Chains A and B, each alone.
Chain A
């Protein structure tokens, strides 16, 4: 079946502009995660949605970052007033609600803030 998809694959924006990144999880997966990865660095957790529970927002670096998940499926990560330090690859992952619950990652969105 289809995997996790993300759009756009690349985004170049000017400092101060807002951006929206989209994630389509695997159909039926109840959990959805956002991470970001700077060049040569590990994965930095941002936010985690699980079913209808309140999201775990503990990883969001500032109030410029927000995310929502509509209808328990598609998610949008919004970064307001982008800064150069926001430049990174933003990865989305989803997992099911049985078995190992391993996360399946999308291809990522490479964000460059100029």
Chain B
């Protein structure tokens, strides 16, 4: 089976840096995604990693270590609007599929305080 773990809640202050960790155990790993979901809204894509290392995009960065089954999402210069749930998702293809479905973690609710 597939198992995705991430903290349930985190808090931080405006302007700070926060790191949201995600660990996974999957077979047929085919990429890791981070999504942001504001309350009452649909998830929106943030980042994608398929190779080890750091991917940087503006204030957001995502890191992947496939050997450790570990990823993190780093948010810099936090703003109030960053208060949301952050979902870690692993794509696992079976039977040699290059696509496959996503397995989502339960999400980390981030609250940014002024």
A residues at B contact (CB < 8 Å): 31, 33, 35, 41-43, 45, 48, 50, 56, 91, 95, 97, 100-108
Contact = CB atoms under 8 A, between A and B. Distances in A.
Contacts of A45: 101-104
A100 B48 CA distance: 7
A31 B99 CA distance: 9
Nearest to B102: A103
13 contacts: A31-B99, A33-B101, A35-B104, A42-B107, A43-B87, A45-B102, A45-B104, A56-B101, A95-B99, A100-B48, A101-B99, A105-B42, A107-B41
Contact of B91 (A41, A101, A105): A101
Interface in B17-58: 31, 33, 41-45, 48
Interface residues of B, number: 18
Interface SS of chain B: helix, strand, loop or mixed? strand
Interface of B: 31, 33, 41-45, 48, 87, 91, 99, 101-107
Given A43-B43, A107-B42, 6 more contacts: A33-B102, A42-B87, A42-B104, A45-B101, A101-B99, A102-B48
B87 A50 contact: no
Contacts of A35: 104
